Amino acid sequence: MDRIVVVGSGPSGVHFALSVLRKGYDVTMVDVGFPKPAVVAPDSTFRGLKENLDDPVRYFLGEKFEGVVLPQPGREYYGIPPSKNYVFRTPAGFDNVTRGFAPLFGFAQGGIAEVWTGGCYPFNADELSDFPFSYAELGPCYGEVARRIGVCGAADDLARHFPVHDNLLEPLELDGHSAVLLAKYEKKRALIQGEWKCSVGRTRVAVLSRDLGSRKKCTYLGRCLWGCPTGAFYTPSLTLAECREFPNFHYVTGVRASHVRLDANRRVSHVVVAPADGGNPQEIPAERVALAAGALSSSQIYLESMYRHTGEVLKLDGLMDNRQILVPFVNLGLIGQPYNPESYQYHQVGMGIEQGTPKEYVHAQVTTLKTAMLHPIIQNLPCDARLASFVVRHFHAALGIVNINLHDTRRPGNSVTLDVQTAPGRPRLVIEYSPAKGETEVIRRAVRTVRKALGALGCIVPPGMTHVRPMGASVHYAGMLPMSRTAGEHTVSETCESHAVKNLYLVDGATFPFLPAKNITFTLMANAVRVADAAF
Amino acid sequence: MSSTEPGALERECEGFCHYLMGRAPDAYVLAKYAEAHRLTTDYSRGSRFDRLLVSFAAWGSFSASLADSYASLFARQGILRRKLVLLLAILESSSPAHGFLDAIEPTPVFLLALQLLGRGILFGIRVLAISLVLLPLQLALGGSPPRGE
């Protein structure tokens, strides 16, 4: 069997690797792979950490207090906790140029999905209409991924937007606020669905509601935002650990792949990697290569490979990402009430809003903010800190935030290319993005619908606090080397094999020809399984 | 008075703690507050007006409430607000102070509304009163960018 080199240990890479390992292939995974720090007090609750750690401020705010969100216009309501900073560490010399796009890169074991929020939303038939395969082909792969990672949810009103697949676990226990929202929805369903074409239901999340193999079910410690200490919440590093148990798996960590070397027949012969902390490159022989470094990094490797082979600097169009809008709200019925921080902390409730065409579907997730830091909210209120603390303290149980996602399409001009002039020998990725015409109106319409639905659920949206996140913030990058049934320039086949380089596969989001308004991670994993099944 | 001297920082932290939660900080909170000031200039960089506002706020709980009321509208990114946000972040992260933010008894909404109204009126009075003094000073000395800039 061929020796396969997989580049990257994110969701696509590890699920592709696991599938081909099970088929008996010899797999070498090359990865920067910054490791996750040891888990702090794994049995402790969120409150327990504050009460029992020797230095809780260091845990919650970081060694250099980088977790403090200081007053600054445009800042997010919450940031990445210091305990997850390792995910955003970059290798020596890492650099890029951006225009209209604020990308996030992750070089940790498991990739940037180590900080995902676990949303698992299968694309439906309409959303797959631009893909060279149907839901019938991808559906079983969703089921297989769900069997591997554990996905819980319910077949409720939202199932019309994301199909029910095999191996769906029963939903988690609801936190108090989410339970109130769903109970209210039961009474207002006719209005919310009928008038505003908005459905409300349980989100699908990659967390265990019952034991799965050696992983134990969620024990509701309330530490999700800070990094699940028990492994009940799925991240790709868990599958990486599973891959590492195979004798035919070789994990080459501490190196970053820059390009692949092509032979005279335009086939990959080697993957070229360099130590992540700087040093001389080395070449790893390969018979087949799967790029799974994330859409941007895989595109960069493709671009640099072509540049080194032909001397031509290519430009790849079609970069996509989900625009996200944060809408904070207050549930009037919960003002002045206590709350329980020992509950699941990411979204448990979602909203699905039908638009003119099925592909324009708008998806929103509702997070009820029980263990997020409060000082970013306090400092945003237009009053003194003592009054703001009083308000937040008594409104805490009632606070929530809706994260609206919009779809994106491949458009010319939203591109990636290389800058080979600034630092010869070490090309930089250049990323350009402009929003679609009419986006402002789409945002306005989506926010208005969410606001109305929240109103019907007994909530109000404080004026002036809606926040349109910059492009790049959702980290759902896709589209630069799309799947296509016919061989086009810089496209891949339906099994994600490059049309230009026959033994080169792209198994991450770079190959998606369309980006629905959904977290793509679950589909990345399912597609990687599909490719491994179909082509290997 | 330099706001990074240990003794001055301790007094400042004590004053701000009294202002925010009505009691003195413990040794851990004092140490973390000082540590943050040692590690970054985020809490010392600012205009002359910023430094004056911090000095005034550090006199005690009442002056802190006046200065913060003003800063919350007219100097949101100034040093005083940054110091208060830092202290809030430390307090909500550590035991036993975190309780002041996340442990409440159920409160009837009408009672809460009354309390909010009262506190809101007091906030308004404080802003009006202190603005008469601080606004001209800020214009004369140059302050932090106003809200929204």
pLDDT classification of B4: cutoffs 50, 70, 90: low
- Per the CB < 8 A criterion, the answer to whether A313 and A438 are in contact is no
A60 touches chain B (CB under 8 A): yes
Q: A263-298: buried (b, 16+ CB within 10 Å) or exposed (e) per residue? A: eeeebbbbbbbbebeeeeeeebebebbbbbbbbbbb
- Per the CB < 8 A criterion, the answer to whether A201 and A157 are in contact is yes
A396 touches chain B (CB under 8 A): yes
Query: Bigger pLDDT: B138 or A300?
Result: A300
Query: Which chain A residues are closer than 8 Å to B106 by Cβ?
Result: 336-338
Planar angle of CA A92, A95, A99, nearest 5 degrees: 165
CA neighbours within 13 Å on the CB side: how many for B94?
22
Residue written as tokens 């709200």?
A329
**Is the pLDDT at B98 greater than 70, yes or no?**
no
Write out A29-80 in H/E/C secondary structure.
Answer: EEECCECCCCCCCCCCCHHHHHHHCCCHHHHHHCCCCCCCCCCCCCCCCCCC
Query: Is A56 close to B94, i.e. CB distance below 8 A?
Result: yes
**Is the pLDDT at A411 greater than 60, yes or no?**
yes
**Is the pLDDT at A374 greater than 50, yes or no?**
yes
| Separation of alpha carbons A379 and A440, rounded Å | 28
**Is the pLDDT at A77 greater than 70, yes or no?**
no
The pLDDT tens digits for A103-144 are 999 999 999 999 999 999 999 999 999 999 999 999 999 999
- Per the CB < 8 A criterion, the answer to whether A300 and A416 are in contact is yes
The pLDDT tens digits for A251-300 are 999 999 999 999 999 999 999 999 999 899 999 999 999 999 999 999 99
| Separation of alpha carbons B34 and B31, rounded Å | 5
Query: Is A56 close to B93, i.e. CB distance below 8 A?
Result: yes
| Separation of alpha carbons A268 and A280, rounded Å | 20
- Say if domain A1-34+89-116+235-317+413-435+478-536 classifies as CATH 3.30.428.10: no
- Per the CB < 8 A criterion, the answer to whether A443 and A325 are in contact is yes
The predicted pLDDT at position A242 comes to 98
How many other CB atoms are there within 10 angstroms of residue A203's CB atom?
A: 29
**Is the pLDDT at B96 greater than 80, yes or no?**
no
CA dihedral A509, A515, A520, A522 (to 10 degrees): -90
Q: What tokens appear for A33 in the block?
A: 């792979």
Give me the residues of A, 342-381, that contact B with CB < 8 A.
Answer: 373-375, 378-379
The predicted pLDDT at position B144 comes to 54
Most confident of A123-132, A379-388, A486-495: A123-132
The pLDDT tens digits for A179-188 are 999 999 999 9
The pLDDT tens digits for A492-535 are 999 999 999 989 999 999 999 999 999 999 999 999 999 999 99
Give me the residues of A, 428-447, that contact B with CB < 8 A.
Answer: none
Q: What percent of chain A has pLDDT over 70?
A: 99
How many other CB atoms are there within 10 angstroms of residue A464's CB atom?
A: 9
Mean pLDDT of the region B59-73: 95
- Per the CB < 8 A criterion, the answer to whether A223 and A46 are in contact is yes
pLDDT classification of A370: cutoffs 50, 70, 90: confident
Query: Is A383 close to B98, i.e. CB distance below 8 A?
Result: no
Q: What is the mean pLDDT of chain A?
A: 95
Query: Is B104 close to A336, i.e. CB distance below 8 A?
Result: yes
Query: Is A64 close to B40, i.e. CB distance below 8 A?
Result: yes
How far B85 CA lies from chain A's nearest CA (Å)?
A: 6
Q: SS3 for A106?
A: coil
**Which of A343, A375, A378, A384 is the best substitution to test chain B (most B C-beta atoms within 10 A)?**
A384
How far B46 CA lies from chain A's nearest CA (Å)?
A: 14
The pLDDT tens digits for B15-36 are 999 999 998 999 999 999 999 9
Query: Exposed, middle or buried, A455 (CB in 10 Å: 0-12/13-18/19+)?
Result: middle
Query: Is B94 close to A337, i.e. CB distance below 8 A?
Result: no
The predicted pLDDT at position A380 comes to 86
Q: Enter the DSSP assignment of A334.
A: G
Nearest to B39 among A64, A336, A379 (CB): A64
Planar angle of CA A121, A242, A289, nearest 5 degrees: 80
**Is the pLDDT at A215 greater than 90, yes or no?**
yes
| Separation of alpha carbons A206 and A203, rounded Å | 10
**Is the pLDDT at A72 greater than 60, yes or no?**
yes
Query: Which chain B residues are closer than 8 Å to A64 by Cβ?
Result: 39-40
**Is the pLDDT at B3 greater than 60, yes or no?**
no
Query: Is A379 close to B81, i.e. CB distance below 8 A?
Result: yes
Query: Is B93 close to A374, i.e. CB distance below 8 A?
Result: no
The predicted pLDDT at position B46 comes to 84
Query: Which chain A residues are closer than 8 Å to B103 by Cβ?
Result: 338
Query: Is B126 close to A57, i.e. CB distance below 8 A?
Result: no
Q: What percent of chain A has pLDDT over 90?
A: 91
pTM of the model: 0.93
Q: Between B61-74 and B6-21, two packed helices, what is the crossing angle to 10 degrees?
A: 80
Domain boundaries defined on chain A: 1-34+89-116+235-317+413-435+478-536
pLDDT classification of B106: cutoffs 50, 70, 90: confident
| Separation of alpha carbons A123 and B55, rounded Å | 58
How many other CB atoms are there within 10 angstroms of residue B140's CB atom?
A: 10
- The secondary structure of A140-196 as a DSSP string is HHHHHHHHHH-EE---SGGGGTS---TTEEPPPPPPHHHHHHHHHHHHHHHHHHHHH
Q: How many CB pairs under 8 A join A and B?
A: 134
Query: Bigger pLDDT: A405 or B105?
Result: A405
How far A311 CA lies from chain B's nearest CA (Å)?
A: 46
**Is the pLDDT at B1 greater than 50, yes or no?**
no
Give helix then strand counts, H and E, for chain B: 7, 0
How far B59 CA lies from chain A's nearest CA (Å)?
A: 17
- Per the CB < 8 A criterion, the answer to whether B98 and B92 are in contact is yes
- The secondary structure of A266-289 as a DSSP string is S-EEEEEEEETTS---EEEE-SEE
The predicted pLDDT at position A426 comes to 87
> Cis before residue B96, ω within 30 degrees of 0?
yes
